[in-house]
Amino acid sequence: MMTSHLRHQGIYLGNNRALTQTKWGHKVFVDTTDVSLTPHILLDGYWEMWITKALLSELKPGMTFVDIGSNLGYFSILGADAVGESGKVISFEANPEMHELTYRNLEINGFLDRSECHNKAAFSENTMLEFKLYEKHKGSSSLYALDEAAAHFHDSLTTISVEAVTLDSALAGRKVDVIKMDAEGAEPAILSGARNLLADNPDIAIFMEFSPGFLPSMGESEAVLDMMTGLGFSIRRIDTDSSLVPVDKEELLSDVYRQFDLYLKREA
């Protein structure tokens, strides 16, 4: 079981890299040019504690955890610790720099033997896609990032070509217990490409962001909710105290600018 470490520190290594640790003592390389996750990991040792607690309560030794949009690997590290030597962590990260950090962070914590890291985007089909990289807000890089949004946050975008795969093809025939998705609007496409995986793993739990304003259209927002409830999933939002609160479609679609952190699982 992970225990909290009271001492926290960071060391600058040069070349925009620092070495710090999580609240639970895991070593973490961070990109010091990033203003999204790095300040929180450096000073606090954690990111989005309400999701962290909910996720850790779900993960058990021996489970397989899929981290989609792993960023620097914060949830991959915690997941690898939680599932233990008999478990597995599989990460997907389209940004090559963040993918490399995920790999290195799993490596320095001794978790490579239970990990797979894919420098790919999860999507609705196997294809090549244009992916937009934020210079400073690394965690907001996505398929759908807009120059106007970047300018609003005094940032800029660079476009790269990335390989995209469906979870059905990448994880065909594999047992998956928990998925965490932070894909900045690509969640409907990812779930569309995971129908077989969801059917083959009836007890799977999904943690995902949901914000209609991030999605290409309101119709897509409603469609993904209908798809998941049609597949038998109950939808709850993760409250700031990590409790799971029932939520209906009307509430989720009522404010396009509100972001929900959702927990989806079929009822036993």
At 217, is the pLDDT very low, low, confident or very high (cuts 50, 70, 90)?
low
**Per-residue pLDDT at 9 exceeds 90:** no
Q: Which helix (H) or strand (E) holds 17?
A: strand 17-21
226 vs 153: which has the higher pLDDT:
226
Q: So what's the pLDDT on residue 148?
A: 86
Domain residues for 83?
A: 47-266
Q: Is there a domain that residue 7 lies in? A: no
User: What proportions of the chain, in percent to the nearest 5, are helix, strand and coil?
Assistant: 35, 30, 40
**Per-residue pLDDT at 68 exceeds 70:** yes
Q: Is there a domain that residue 30 lies in? A: no
Q: So what's the pLDDT on residue 192?
A: 95
Number of domains within the chain: 1
222 vs 111: which has the higher pLDDT:
111
In terms of phi and psi (left: phi > 0; alpha: psi -120 to 50; beta: otherwise), the region of 55 is: alpha
**Per-residue pLDDT at 75 exceeds 60:** yes
Q: Is there a domain that residue 26 lies in? A: no
258 vs 61: which has the higher pLDDT:
61
Q: So what's the pLDDT on residue 218?
A: 55
Q: Is there a domain that residue 8 lies in? A: no
Q: How far apart are CA 59 and CA 57, in angstroms?
A: 6
Q: Is there a domain that residue 23 lies in? A: no
Cα Rg of the chain, angstroms: 18
Q: Is there a domain that residue 28 lies in? A: no
> For residue 127, what is the domain's CATH number?
3.40.50.150
State pLDDT tens for residues 30-59. Answer: 999 999 999 999 999 999 999 999 999 999
Q: How far apart are CA 126 and CA 118, in angstroms?
A: 14
State pLDDT tens for residues 93-121. Answer: 999 999 999 999 999 999 999 999 999 99
Which of 262, 165, 259 is closest to 205 using CA atoms?
Answer: 262
What phi and psi, each to the nearest 5 degrees, are found at residue 180? Answer: -115, 125
Q: So what's the pLDDT on residue 257?
A: 81
Q: Average pLDDT over the chain, rounded to whole?
A: 93
Q: Which helix (H) or strand (E) holds 161?
A: strand 157-165
**Per-residue pLDDT at 175 exceeds 60:** yes
Q: Is there a domain that residue 109 lies in? A: yes
Q: Is there a domain that residue 158 lies in? A: yes
Q: So what's the pLDDT on residue 115?
A: 99
Residue 142 DSSP one-character state:
B
At 221, is the pLDDT very low, low, confident or very high (cuts 50, 70, 90)?
confident
Q: So what's the pLDDT on residue 256?
A: 80
